[in-house]
Structure 1
């Protein structure tokens, strides 16, 4: 791992296999096109993360590939551990802190609007608060960043609902931690999301 400082960026990625990624999108455009869109999103993520002033880990859902477009610039590959998304994110943060980083941020690969500025801003916000979240316009969050483990934020949660962000903010308040928000961005999960983004062209309709 290319350890530049005390900051670690973890990128959660599904392994790019047709029929196993973007399944809601695939219901409208087919498995092959959904995989192509997913690979485009992963390339956008690679470009956004390659210049961020932090060490980078790519955490894969099913297996660690020998090569991958995200594994550049000294990035290390990890395997996600846990029964659901929340436990997988929690364990990734715990591992990041356990190997010596004091500020850890985690993103997925579904957000075409992600930029290096947003990622650097997440780490800067941790100078003044315990948690930084990037609100997704569907009610979830595209980024979480923190300075110490926060299991209550991830474990025993219901995910993929429009109340995830609001529930998260309530949990943060209930545990007397401070939080700051990043700009709201859009994820791509459905065909409507794709049509609303700049990635859609009429040939997909």
Structure 2
């Protein structure tokens, strides 16, 4: 197993700030509770992984959801691509870096370990998301140019990011495709995939039907 670091890029789970696309059908408070549960499960997976250093790159302030042993850095830069580039740059300490978001609470320590292990033989590891984006990006040697200018939050974001990596001549390993929690329908799907986690518990506590 190779040494690697993990970064979770996240928003403080407070009402009208995190997971706003869940409203409606969820209230802002319920959406924030689902966001906190997703972040809790994500950080539990990170804590259970063999990462050397675990970091949350946070927009907002830490809360009781932050476990011991996880360092916090602030997000910086204009636009998501810039913030991701800076998150890699700020975390890099000579080891490969695996970056994920807070939107895939079904992630497991094993998935993170496999991503880190893939960076022994590949320059990058890429985890596509079902909405056309990506949920994981790992780089053996982080380089801001690999992210800057890639249009984010679009149906072709993942394809464009993967093309950027391959266009730079990198050998890219693929991680399994996962679903980001963006909508009520996503929430139902992910809660079913990880029924034992905090996110599933919150989903069943506040369950709402997806808008038609």
Q: Tell me if both proteins adopt one fold, taking TM over 0.5 as the criterion.
A: yes
Matched residue SS, 1:28: coil
**How far apart are the structure 2 equivalents of 1:175 and 1:203?**
44
Match of 1:70 in 2: 66
Shift of 1:93: 1.0
Query: Scaled by the length of structure 2, what TM-score is found?
Result: 0.86
Aligned partner of 1:96 in structure 2 is 91
Structure 2 runs not aligned, ≥5 long: 193-199
**Residues 1:192 and 2:156 aligned together:** no
* Pairing 1:12-51 to 2, within 5 Å after superposition: 12-51=9-48
Cα-Cα RMSD: 1.7
Distance 1:203 1:139 in 2: 26
Matched-pair contact (CA < 8 Å) for 2:88–2:142: yes
Contact 2:15/2:31 (8 A) holds in 1: yes
TM-score by length of 1: 0.89
Which runs of 5 or more residues in structure 1 are unaligned?
A: none
Q: What residue in structure 2 maps to residue 127 of structure 1? A: 120
Tell me, in whole angstroms, the C-alpha distance in 2 between the residues paired with 1:89 and 1:39: 21
How far apart, in 2, do the equivalents of 1:173 and 1:143 lie?
16
Residues 56 and 75 in structure 1, CA contact (< 8 A), matched pair in contact too: yes
- Cα deviation for residue 6 of structure 1 reads 4.3
Q: What residue is the counterpart of 1:150 in the other structure?
A: 143
> 1:204 aligns to what?
208
Per the alignment, residue 80 of structure 1 pairs with: 75
Deviation at 1:91, TM superposition (A): 0.8
| Aligned counterpart, 2:105 | 112
Q: Partners in 2 of 1:68 and 1:75 — Cα distance?
A: 12
Q: Indicate conservation of the 8 Å contact 1:41/1:109, yes or no.
A: yes
Contact in 1 for aligned 2:12/2:58 (Cα 8 Å): yes
Distance in 2 separating the partners of 1:175 and 1:13: 27
For 1:41 and 1:112, the matched residues in 2 are separated by 5
